[in-house]
Amino acid sequence: MASRLSLSEDAYVPSGAQQTAVKILIVGHFAVGKTTLIGSLSEITPLSTEERMTTLSERVDDLKGVQGKTTTTVALDFGRLTLSERVVLYLFGSPGQQRFVSLWDDTARGALGALVLVDPERLADSFDVMDLVESYGLDFAVAINHFDGSTFHTPEEVREALDLLPDTPVVTIDARDEKSSVDALITLVRYLHERADLEHA
């Protein structure tokens, strides 16, 4: 695990610290709950670049199904979660709109994997994001952000709809709930560990 979870950048933890810093991307299409998830579980006050949506942004961002949304992330969200004495996760949330894709080069650098949030009401909107994740060569898990009033889809139904590989983890979460958000990240880290073991077998 240590060889896979070593990052080229060591600026995230103090010199001499025993923890291993793991950079994880939290991604998904516009208004899927990335900022909410990071805010629900970060042990530090999360950094958020949420800005109020203007009339101009409303013309280019698809508000179908999220008509009540008034803010949007314009750069990144950042949070930290310590999983154990050895592993601390640094969470980077990337904007979901196509107009912010250029920011991915920086946020994806050094990342070990990604948690892809999907909205069960807008599954088709997830394809562009998953294409981006795959283009950066990142292993990922999928988290279905099920919330009050949304259509419930089983993980098997989502796996089929998104044409995922059989071993790609799919979990159902409520991004507002700390426990379910943590469980999703643990699922991703275990998957990354398993992938690392296979690569070094």
Residue 61 lies in a domain: yes
Q: How many CB atoms lie within 10 A of CB 167?
A: 10
CA atoms within 13 A on the CB side of 15: 0
Residue 11 lies in a domain: no
Q: Tell me the CATH number at 128.
A: 3.40.50.300
Residue 87 lies in a domain: yes
What is the domain count for the chain?
A: 1
Residue 15 lies in a domain: no
Residue 36 lies in a domain: yes
Q: How far is residue 116's CA from residue 122's CA, in Å, rounded to a whole number?
A: 13
pTM, full prediction: 0.77
Per-residue pLDDT of the chain (201 residues; tens, 9 = 90+): 333 343 333 434 445 556 788 999 999 988 899 999 999 999 998 887 555 544 544 544 454 555 454 455 445 889 999 988 888 999 999 876 565 677 788 889 999 999 999 999 999 999 999 999 999 999 999 999 987 777 889 999 999 999 999 999 999 999 999 999 999 999 999 999 999 888 876
Residue 76 lies in a domain: yes
- Which residue segment(s) compose the domain that 174 sits in? 20-199
Residue 102 lies in a domain: yes
Residue 2 lies in a domain: no
